[in-house]
Structure 1
């Protein structure tokens, strides 16, 4: 009988060691990510809504290193204290490296510069439209007054506008008033 016991214990030890190794390898094949100020452990990948910077650990050791236990484990309240949880503080969340903060500041500054440039361009276009509108209205009023108007031709000679030229110029001025005196077209905005 002692031989049978020795035989049983001799195969149990390697099998138990194998199970322990398997359990350790399964434990290392876990995903860890931060969600709402707490750590989430899973053997499946996090949902697509979790940003890459929130992933703390990937299977196989890839990804960001684990957070220190002091930052990850919240303290439990004493018996006499209230059990309501306090809002998450910045010490519990992963800290951004200084390079990321600088990058965010530069990105914000570039966005502000682009916005200022766009507003300046809109103001320039609005001023040009306003000036064109005022000139077109003034010319249209002159055209409608019935006063004889003269233009200068390519040779520098003065020519009095006939009725046909006067009607064509009046139509052109009407188009300018319609385009520049109304609201800004959607394509230009």
Structure 2
């Protein structure tokens, strides 16, 4: 039970440049005036602004000193996010492939010269004339360009 309470003790609270209060488990950005730091973790000493050269090594030191359980949790979350992204990309790719196949089939119908009928807004069947067929051919070509890559 005590372990669950410890992370709450390691919170920073400061006022940013726009005057909004920020909360984080990481210290505020360098350059934040000491008067704007409203709360420090109990174990934290006052933040000393370091030159830019040593500031680059600070994240590496913080990462190596962090809790292994937190690192494992973060890594698992990243893996889950990557898996979700791959699943979404696969779903989009499958949808594009289906749309491409549909467009190709319709283009074959348009190119075959057979009569094509569609239902209008009143529910009546109407046969495509030459101008409507040309518009459909152009729209289908555009669909094939976007979906059949």
TM norm structure 1: 0.47
1:132 aligns with 2:77: no
* Structure 1 pair 54–110 and aligned structure 2 pair: CA distance change class (3 A): closer
- Output the CA distance in 1 between the equivalents of 2:130 and 2:99: 24
- SS of alignment partner, residue 122 of structure 2: coil
Partner of 2:113: 146
- Output the CA distance in 2 between the equivalents of 1:162 and 1:152: 14
- SS of alignment partner, residue 47 of structure 1: helix
Greater gyration radius: 1
* Structure 1 pair 168–47 and aligned structure 2 pair: CA distance change class (3 A): same
Deviation of residue 50 (structure 1)?
3.1
Partner of 1:168: 135
- The one of 58, 76, 82 equivalent to 1:51 is 58
Partner of 1:115: 82
What per-residue deviation string (whole Å, max 9, x for no partner) do you get for residues 136-183 of structure 1?
Answer: 00000000000011111111111111001100000000001111101x
Which structure's relative contact order is higher, taking Cα pairs within 8 Å and 6+ residues apart? Answer: 2
Partner of 2:124: 157
Pairwise CA RMSD: 2.4
Gaps of 5+ in 1: 1-43, 56-94, 183-189
- Output the CA distance in 1 between the equivalents of 2:93 and 2:61: 46
- Output the CA distance in 2 between the equivalents of 1:142 and 1:52: 61
